[in-house]
A and B are shown apart, each in its own frame.
Chain A
Amino acid sequence: MSKLTDINSIINRINNGAVLMIGGFLGVGTPENIIDALVAKGVKNLTIITNDTSFPGRGISKLVAAKQIKKLIVSHIGTNPETGRQMNAGEIEVELVPQGTLAERIRAGGSGLGGILTPTGVGTIVEEGKKILEIDGKKYLLELPLKADVAFLKAYMADEEGNLVYHASARNFNPIMAMAADYVVAEVEHFHTAGNIPPDEVMTTGILVNSVIFEDSKDAMKGGA
């Protein structure tokens, strides 16, 4: 059975207060059509786990502008002034996480791990409230796993089985988010029948992917800063 799904039936699953992981780095590797559909539906009080809030008018920034987010778990918000404004005004909660720690927390969430130990953040405000363990004389922070209700990914290509291939630097957080959510949706630019992606080239196995959205939209082709 093909995993190709209509975008509206996916968006109908998303309710106010949902916890979402969304792939991308400064908008590259972010499923723009899915974000547009979330904005159109107007779901509120979302918790979004993602690397950054992109540039104004692009990617996650559309959800910020529409004030649909209650909490952001991100590594960087500096490229989108509106996120900082909402944070300072107390309209949005922002948990800043070092980028490598964010990646490992997501990986832990999808890998059955109770957390990870990282030297990143030791001696900084990032260590506040966290358990510090000393191993062979070196200090590490215990960072806890992250999971989500739904992960929204962007891939270059998928097949009916949901196998995914990413292109260039659009891979970023997508493969690890595919592991860490109860329901995983990939928006793709190319769609193939089963068996047309050689197993050696599959980057995310279809067993992790519930639905594939194939939207041939001009908007999704925009890129870069």
Chain B
Amino acid sequence: MNPRELIVRRVAKELNDGDVVNLGIGLPTLVANHVPKGMKVIFHSENGFVGLGPTPPQGEEDKDLVNAGGQYATVNPGGAFFDSAMSFALIRGGHVDVTVLGALEADENGNLANWMVPGKMVPGMGGAMDLTVGAKKVIVAMEHLAKGGAPKILKQCTLPLTAQKEVDMIITEMAVIRVTNEGLVLEEIAPEFSLEDVQKATEAILKISPNLKKIEVE
């Protein structure tokens, strides 16, 4: 299984029946394809609705209905549209159960950096800061290493933060890591990697869970 596929399938296992979930742009968006069968998850789209559905077939697009990445989308029966103030009130107010975001860096204090690289790339934070602060559970879904092989899971983020001490879990193609008050706990490891491989690819020191398991996905 390719690394990105493994990540999104493993993230999908974190969802619970009835959860309201916001998926970030890029890799996290693909989690929607792997919601466990028989489970109902309601997707929140921060541009102003709940009940985000699949991409419409060609020719059936509605020019006024897009996801938070600006791509044509659909709304499922039972969904609802609202304005941006309401959308973010839902986020900050604790009405969104889970958010899944990509990251440039994450660290052992639960900090996250994903919105700018000073002097290089300043796209803006969009809704990421509100989602990270407001969602009940924050999952970082990303490839374990940066392009070029540098670690992204650090003792301390070097880039400007998106939010402080808000990340609950980090899921990569190598590992499932839980952020705790005592630091990062390695809970699951991909079958093809050793503990040594994962620690070598991680700047922060990983504590090994007594219940360490192999990552299993459907």
Contact = CB atoms under 8 A, between A and B. Distances in A.
Contact of B63 (A78, A84, A103, A224): A224
A27 interface: yes
Q: Which of B87, B130, B133 has the most CB of A within 10 A?
A: B130
Range of interface residues on chain A? 35 or more
Contacts of A61: none
B84 A51 contact: yes
A124 B161 contact: yes
B99 interface: no
Interface stretch (B5-13, B121-129, B167-175, B209-217): B121-129
Main secondary structure of the interface of B (DSSP, over half): loop
Contact of A99 (B71, B127, B163): B127
A106 B87 CA distance: 14
Nearest to B82: A171
B81 interface: yes
A77 B92 contact: no
A107 B165 CA distance: 28
Interface of A: 25-29, 51-52, 55, 74-79, 84, 87, 96, 98-104, 106-107, 118-126, 156, 166-176, 221-225
Interchain residue pairs A-B with the least CB separation, the first 8: A223-B63, A78-B123, A100-B88, A123-B164, A100-B130, A26-B70, A170-B64, A76-B124
Interface of B: 45-49, 61-66, 68-73, 75, 81-85, 87-89, 91-92, 111, 121-130, 133-134, 160-165
